[in-house]
Structure 1
Amino acid sequence: MRIMLIGRWGKTHALAKALAASRDVELYSLMDKKNTGIASLSAHYELGNIKDLSVIQKFVEKHRIDMLFVVPEMSLARGITDYFNEKGIPAVGPSEFCTKLEGDKGFVRNLMKENHIDHYPDFHVFSDKKEAVEFIRNYSRPFAVKPSGITEGDGVKVMGIQLINKQEAMDYVEQIFDRSIGGMASVIIEEKIEGEEYTIQLFCDGKTVVPMPVVRDYKLLEEGESGLNTPGMGSVSYPNHLLPSLSKNNFDESVVIMERILDVLKEKYGEKYNGFLSGQFMLTEQGIRVVEINVRPGDSEILNIIPILQTDFMDICRAMANEKLDEIKISFAEKSTVCIYAVPEGFPTPSGKVQIHIDRKRFEKPGIHLFQSCFEAGESLYEPSPRLFAVTGTGDSLEEAREKCLEGLSGIRGKNIFYRKDIGTRDLAERYMKKYDLPGV
């Protein structure tokens, strides 16, 4: 079966590995920059505009593609899956309308409010810059500022973390409108919430959802979870597929919240949701709160999931495309995972090309997995995306998984490369539980 994979980053490389390992897949890839990890797994790849329907259509016709898997939210928002599903070529990924769950944060907040899905913080949406600035001037609670549109994981700024005072917050609002950050002339001011943050990802086919193990990601740049906000520095999961501070009831409640959102899409808007759905939550003293919803796999969270997925990934894709998830059993190994991203000096600010040498033999060892997020720029020369490579270690315990992850990272050599060494340590997990008075490990 000829599968076309659209995307270029680390999450796409992880999915390419899963597809390439399937029994009956011939992989064809379209990227706008060359990710050599994806290219090496593909029977054929091309470089082109991954948001241009005409480019994708020509690729499909030229290579007689049987099914598409569209990963980037920017491509999904162009209606790529709508077009090919209407043409009778199955395409995994949500419709253009459904991408509003990520592409318009005000839409999903209002959807939850109007349909009594009461798991959101106090929020206010503004399409007028002056009104937003004036609101901040008079708002008395700690808050977060979010561009309403897609910012690929690094647009949110929180008072006391990325924003020192109200003036910085007002300046950031000005930037959002003046620079069209997120692609929309809109901003959300939300009450700041605190607690244990976690991610639950779903496989969806329009009628059935199958949850994946819980992942805890770390977005702040510096060790101890401090510093600048980033698209992600790494993430962890546990053998029981929960977190030490997250009960099975918490997990089930979080899944129900996402199911209720999808039910509204179906019942009110006539839209069935197909593909990956990623929910970022926070367990607070007031209960579970939705931080945001994403319409694609998490990066790095999916890098924790693919190494422990025991079901043939192509079978899952086929089931998602044909509303048959209820006919297959999806299972995951009872292993811990630790994923850590190597990033260039100066990250998350874009930087120049980086010389890197990789000891590939390290990644032939069981339980050590390499995922590429950067692009070829010459021999051993890579252009960050802005991240470079991620390594996921798997093991019977978090400690074993972290050891394997660090062993892999030690095989990525180059000047001015940085990664957090505290991800996966017991100290980091306990610090969060103590800070928010959560149950112990």
Structure 2
Amino acid sequence: MKVLIIGSGGREHAIAKLVRRSSLNPKIFVVMDYRNPGLEREAVETGGKWFVASTTSVGKVLEIANELSPDLIVIGPEEPQFAGVSDALREKGFTVFGASMRCAEIEKSKVFARTVMWKYNIDGRLYFKAFRDVEEARKFIEFAGDVVIKPARQAGGKGVKVLKDTQAYLSKDRSEVKRSYVDKLFTEMSSYRDIDYKIIVEQRVEGVEYTAMVITDGDYVLSLPLIQDHPHAFEYDIGPETGGMGSIQGPGWVLPFITFDEYRKTIEIVSKVLKALYMETKEPYIGAFAGQMMLTGVWGPTVIEFYSRFGDPEISNLVPIVESDFLEILDRAAEKRLAGVKLEINEDVVTIVKAIAPAGYPDDKKLASNHTIYVDENRIRELSCEVLYASVELGSNNMMYTKGSRAFEIVCSGKDYEEAYRKSENAVQFVESLDGWPLFYRRDIGSRELLEDRIRVAKRVREVYMARASNGLLGKVLIWLPGEGVIENPLIGFVR
């Protein structure tokens, strides 16, 4: 079976590894923006071929697809979806696993995603206000209090600023930070011509984040195990937001701090959003879909944002545990034959993924680029771990160079978190900078200390949202005003 994968990074390398195990004897072909040595190897070793071309160029991707006549095309990243690559391929009769441009709007536009949730009254929604004009945004932000400021468009997981505004003596300083950050975001978002709104300001919530991924053919929804991403650059969730510095999974279908009831509720929310999306677009959603969730005291399972593809690095956690024929599942979804399919996983192990990135990421991609780097795969395999090649390029001199983002993802599994963590810490030492440029990773991902903290936070949040549920207060915002008493949903004007 000929499989064409479109994409250049760690997500696509994970997909290639999962696909390669299939009994359908796949030949893997890849269209990538740069020469990723991991993807190149998967293609060559299966008898396929690789191409370096713009993955968002409809014409170029169509040209390659026409040359190959693949049985299935798998689109990995979001940007080709936004550019209409999926639609163009389907119009030419190709079988495609990947959201259409209209369906992918659920990721591209955070305003659209929030609007859909409010329009269809879906649980887990947050108050928000969106802005096209920088002056209007500045005025609103000055008095907004506790908020999250985000780019209104998907920007690779970066650009989110959480501002907790509770200390009165810092109000002047915080207002200045808010205004300057609004200016910065408007400047950055001005380069995107495919959205009207530039920034979105959301109700701030606290809790424990996790990702719920599903595969769907437009009718049937196949849920995958819950995974927790760690988006902050530095240990203990500090520093700028990144595309994800690592992730944990297991054991089984849930995480140590999420219950099965919360898992079921999460999948119910995701499924309702998919149905609402069909009502809005009149197009079946075919591909991977994910809810970036947070367990909060406001709703319990709460939506932070959506992905119109597999999460990265979340998909990497599936590499050691999937026992089903993953290619068959993707193919059946693309052909709208997913009904009745079950995903079998190894429920007796946990997985930890750690990303290794060059200094400068995520704030200065140029600074983090063009540094020579080396990975000793043999030593990592001796630990029963896998290496996924992400933002690295193979040069003409057979040296690997960083591309400015996460260079490698190290995937380790074990019978428990202690074993998987020990393996991951041993494995990361076999990635080396050859020109002396600093590399960094998050040592705390998968550690007992961080897991215990997540469990404590989830327990406190659970007590709050369950008490609110018993009193019919889920999703409601209550404040007390002197002389007026308790006011319900005072932020209702926040929605736009």
> For the superposition of Structure 1 and Structure 2, which TM-score range results when normalised by the shorter chain?
over 0.9
C-alpha distance after superposition, 1:139-196 (max 9, x if no partner):
23x11111111201112111159x9722222222222223326723421101111001
**Structure 2 residue 12 is the aligned partner of structure 1 residue 12:** yes
Aligned to 2:394: 376
Q: Which residue, out of 264, 267, 270, partners 1:255?
A: 267
Structure 1 runs (4+) greater than 4 angstroms displaced: none
**Structure 2 residue 416 is the aligned partner of structure 1 residue 405:** no
CA distance in 2, matches of 1:301, 1:313: 16
Aligned to 1:396: 415
Q: How does 1:247-286 map to 2 (within 5 A)?
A: 247-286=259-298
What is the aligned length?
Answer: 438
Contact 1:149 1:182 in 2 (8 A): no
Please report how far the alpha carbon of residue 406 of structure 1 lies from its aligned counterpart in structure 2 after TM superposition: 2.1
CA distance in 2, matches of 1:64, 1:429: 47
Describe the SS at the equivalent of 1:232: coil
**Structure 2 residue 433 is the aligned partner of structure 1 residue 419:** no
Aligned to 2:355: 341
1:293–1:330 Cα change, 3 Å? same
Please report how far the alpha carbon of residue 114 of structure 1 lies from its aligned counterpart in structure 2 after TM superposition: 0.9
Describe the SS at the equivalent of 2:339: helix
Letter in 1 for 2:38: G
Aligned to 2:329: 316
Letter in 1 for 2:408: F
Contact 1:245 1:439 in 2 (8 A): no
CA distance in 2, matches of 1:68, 1:214: 26
Q: Return 311-320 or 184-193, whichever deviates more.
A: 184-193
Aligned to 1:233: 245
Contact 1:276 1:295 in 2 (8 A): yes
User: Unaligned stretches of 5+ in structure 1?
Assistant: none
Aligned to 2:206: 194
Contact 1:151 1:182 in 2 (8 A): no
C-alpha distance after superposition, 1:78-133 (max 9, x if no partner):
22222222322101101110011011110110111011113122211112221111
Q: How does 1:134-173 map to 2 (within 5 A)?
A: 134-140=139-145, 142-160=146-164, 165-173=174-182
Letter in 2 for 1:430: E
Describe the SS at the equivalent of 1:339: strand
Contact 2:102 2:281 in 1 (8 A): no
Please report how far the alpha carbon of residue 366 of structure 1 lies from its aligned counterpart in structure 2 after TM superposition: 6.6
**Structure 2 residue 440 is the aligned partner of structure 1 residue 428:** no
Describe the SS at the equivalent of 1:325: coil
Structure with max Cα Rg? 2
Contact 1:101 1:294 in 2 (8 A): yes
Letter in 1 for 2:393: F
Letter in 2 for 1:21: R
Q: Which residue, out of 132, 136, 145, partners 1:131?
A: 136
Contact 2:418 2:447 in 1 (8 A): yes
Describe the SS at the equivalent of 2:319: helix
Contact 2:356 2:439 in 1 (8 A): yes
Letter in 1 for 2:105: K
Describe the SS at the equivalent of 1:356: strand
Contact 2:352 2:420 in 1 (8 A): yes
**Structure 2 residue 304 is the aligned partner of structure 1 residue 291:** yes
Contact 2:106 2:307 in 1 (8 A): yes
Identical aligned residues as a percent: 28
C-alpha distance after superposition, 1:349-405 (max 9, x if no partner):
221322223222124337311111122234333123411111011111011111222
Please report how far the alpha carbon of residue 54 of structure 1 lies from its aligned counterpart in structure 2 after TM superposition: 1.0
Q: Return 382-391 or 252-261, whichever deviates more.
A: 382-391
Letter in 2 for 1:77: F
Letter in 1 for 2:304: V
Aligned to 2:405: 386
Describe the SS at the equivalent of 2:137: helix
CA distance in 1, matches of 2:87, 2:441: 39
CA distance in 1, matches of 2:432, 2:185: 37
